[in-house]
A and B are shown apart, each in its own frame.
Chain A
Amino acid sequence: MWKSGLRKYSAAASSTASAGNSTSISSTLLLTRNPVITADVSKFEAQYYKYQNELWKRLMWTFPSWFYYRKGTISEQAFRELNPGPVFNNPNIEFPRGRPVVVHQRDRRFKQELKLPKTYKEVSQEKKEGGETAAEEEGAKEDNLSRQIVPNSRITKADESKDLASLERQLSRTLYLIIQENSKWTLPTFKEEQVAQGDDTKDSSVTPLHTLAEQGLYKIGGNSINYFNVSNTPCHVHKSESTREYFIKSHILSGRFVPQSESIKFLWLTKEELGEYLEKDYYKEIEHLLSDI
């Protein structure tokens, strides 16, 4: 369907392969950890969402409680106790802020605020009672379906201890892997010849850039990395006179980066932090590849 370059250049490949020998080709791995949690919203965004949400609630239809809580059931009684109806339009009372318009237990002028009967016990109350009950509860926590669900904190331990090598830091941001082999922090870069020499069988043919990056990653970071290579197409080239570094983009999905030699140090950094560790010109060149979030 697409006109692929593969056919066009396969014939030309063998004849011009020798031309590439003068420049050394290497592939640079842009290994990212995607955000695990949603981005932090700015104050303006949060306020706007709140404003719209309130308007939305104001314009909502009345909750059909007669449908969900059938008359005469215990749940209906519990619901009614939690939600006493609004003040009805009593002709004997003056309403300085306008007369209520009540239909189906809702004042049509305002948003409807509902409280639903809880299906769990409050954690905070239990803890107040004594240490023993709290300890018992801890054990029952995992498998108890009717426990209160408390969301985990968006700030993790790694954030608090400022562990830059942890994959659990800055969960709302994209992290990038950088390594240090000889006193200089760089993105992991692998030269074409190195790997080709190691593999005797593949001596004659070239290794595709993404395979080169993959092999290199396993070599320096161990085998227990589950990663996804976005494409075999490079997303950037860093040029100098005799070297070409092609950027290959990948995402780490699970597992960990375990340096295979002691000389290798590694960090997982956000875009802004990369600016501090990488060379300025280099960072400026690759800035557009890095995600702001």
Chain B
Amino acid sequence: MRINSVNASTQRVVNQLSALSASKKQPKLLNLCKEDLIKHKTITNAWNVYQRKVNEKRHIQLNAQYKSIHEAMEDLKQTSPQLYALANKPEKKKKFPLDMRMPTDYPPTKPWVYNYEPSQKRK
């Protein structure tokens, strides 16, 4: 026997479950023909090659930056041990400011905040 009507709260739970579950909502599986498959593979390969190049470039740049930090510190150690000690002090408590935001797809209405006033702390 089929129950035709349930109370509202049960219906809500049933709806929630149906929104969550995969039954009757899945599309048909992709079934690419050989040509499409080759096209897809070519596109994916091209993307992987591109990504590898981008990553390699980034890696080389970071390595160069690291090397140049190292050289600067080596040099500073020789030139002025006093400054070196100050520059090598670990800043464990330092946090990145919240004002430093990640970029958005479109700029805000006022792209830059100009009216900044220094706080009392900073002379």
* A and B in direct contact, judged by CB atoms within 8 A: yes
The answer to whether A64 touches B25, judged by C-beta atoms less than 8 angstroms apart, is yes
| Residues of B within 8 A of A (CB-CB), count | 59
Provide the bound-state CA to CA distance between A240 and B88, in Å.
23
Provide the bound-state CA to CA distance between A109 and B30, in Å.
9
Given contacts A58-B30, A109-B28, contact A5 B85 (CB under 8 A): yes
The answer to whether B73 touches A234, judged by C-beta atoms less than 8 angstroms apart, is yes
Provide the bound-state CA to CA distance between A156 and B107, in Å.
9
| Residues of A within 8 A of B (CB-CB), count | 80
Given contacts A4-B88, A4-B89, A48-B47, contact A25 B68 (CB under 8 A): no
The answer to whether A108 touches B27, judged by C-beta atoms less than 8 angstroms apart, is yes
Interface assignment of B55: CB less than 8 Å from any CB of chain A: no
What chain A residues lie within 8 Å of B69 (beta carbons)?
233-236
Contacts from A to B (Cβ < 8 Å): 2, 4-6, 9-10, 12-14, 16-17, 19-20, 23, 25, 34-39, 44-45, 48, 51, 55, 58-62, 64, 66-67, 101, 103-104, 106, 108-111, 151-154, 156, 167-168, 171-172, 205-206, 208-210, 223-226, 228, 231-237, 239, 244, 246-247, 251, 253-256, 288-289, 292
Shortest C-beta distance, B89 to chain A (Å), equals 5
What chain B residues lie within 8 Å of A2 (beta carbons)?
90
Most buried by B among A9, A39, A153: A9
The answer to whether B112 touches A167, judged by C-beta atoms less than 8 angstroms apart, is yes
Q: Could you name 16 residue pairs across A and B whose Cβ atoms are closer than 8 Å?
A: A48-B47, A55-B30, A59-B30, A64-B18, A106-B27, A152-B108, A154-B107, A168-B112, A233-B73, A234-B76, A235-B65, A236-B68, A237-B68, A237-B76, A253-B100, A256-B116
